[in-house]
Amino acid sequence: MQLIKLKQSLTVFIIIIIVLAFSFLLLGSALTGKLFSGATYVFVLTGAFFGALIHGTIYATKRTLGAKEENIKISEKNQDVFYAAGQAINAWQMVKIIFGTIISLVIVGFAVFVGIGNLKGSPLVFDVNSIWLASGFVGYFILVFPFIRIIGKSVSSIVPTYDLLHNGLVINPKIGGKKDLRFKIDFAEIDEMREMNFQEAELYYENLGPNIKLAWEEIKGLYSMGKENKRPKIYIQNQSFGKTILMRGKNFLYLITLSNDTSDLMTAYKNFKASKNA
């Protein structure tokens, strides 16, 4: 497992630990009638927040552990001082994650100790506030998925799209509402193309390490694209709605989320490469 993916997995593990600690305390308080006092909506919102916490943890765990190694690796790593600095920073982040894991285990131990103490010292009772808490929890999962679909449809209007050409594609980045802001990429220019999900793209970008050159080229590219309609060298635009495509050539690197179906694009690129290698 790559260092970046291990770091992400440990981060998710810490979140899981904290969620378990919180849920144990909440369950113990509900069963013993020792829930905090407050208005009804406070308990409903607390239940909804707990549901969101569990939902986010499951989503992050699934995406992180399901990330494919071949999608997040760097084919040609930069060997300059910026890449080396990035790896040193990543190593330090790993040290912090390990310490965070230890602290999280201490928190869980404390939560279990307090929870067991509550359960031992108090009889089980019925608390009406527990019903409101459960209602907020269940209500979150009833409402969140239709809400996500609505948000996805509205966000898709501002996510970049592409038009497939005979031997290439045209990207519409949808920046600043400019409809004529497009740039063309020929398949012959592309050395590598990958299809990724959101988490894989995040891991790939993090795998690049803190890179001053890349960040500066990205800023210059966005400026020249907006002002002069010039194709940028670096363009990073990763979103959770849609599929993210990595396109890497000798003089450019694009990591772009596209709202329209990318299967035709991947097929066309593979067919182009196959015809050139035949």
Strand partners, 13: none
| pLDDT surpasses 50 at 145 | yes
Q: How many CA atoms does the CB half-sphere of 74 hold within 13 Å?
A: 19
Task: Quote the tokens at residue 191.
Answer: 């050395």
- Residues 133, 37 contacting (CB under 8 angstroms): no
- Residues 93, 227 contacting (CB under 8 angstroms): no
The tens digit of pLDDT for each residue in 10-33 reads: 667 777 777 777 776 666 666 666
| Between 278 and 199, residue with greater pLDDT | 199
| pLDDT surpasses 70 at 69 | no
The tens digit of pLDDT for each residue in 210-255 reads: 667 777 787 887 777 777 777 888 888 888 777 899 998 888 889 8
Spell out the alpha helix ranges (H) of 73-191: 81-121, 128-155
d(C-alpha 155, C-alpha 64), whole Å:
23
Q: For the residues 31-43, what does the mean pLDDT come to? A: 68
Residue 41 in 3-state DSSP? helix
Q: For the residues 264-276, what does the mean pLDDT come to? A: 89
> What is the domain partition of the chain in residue ranges?
3-155, 161-277
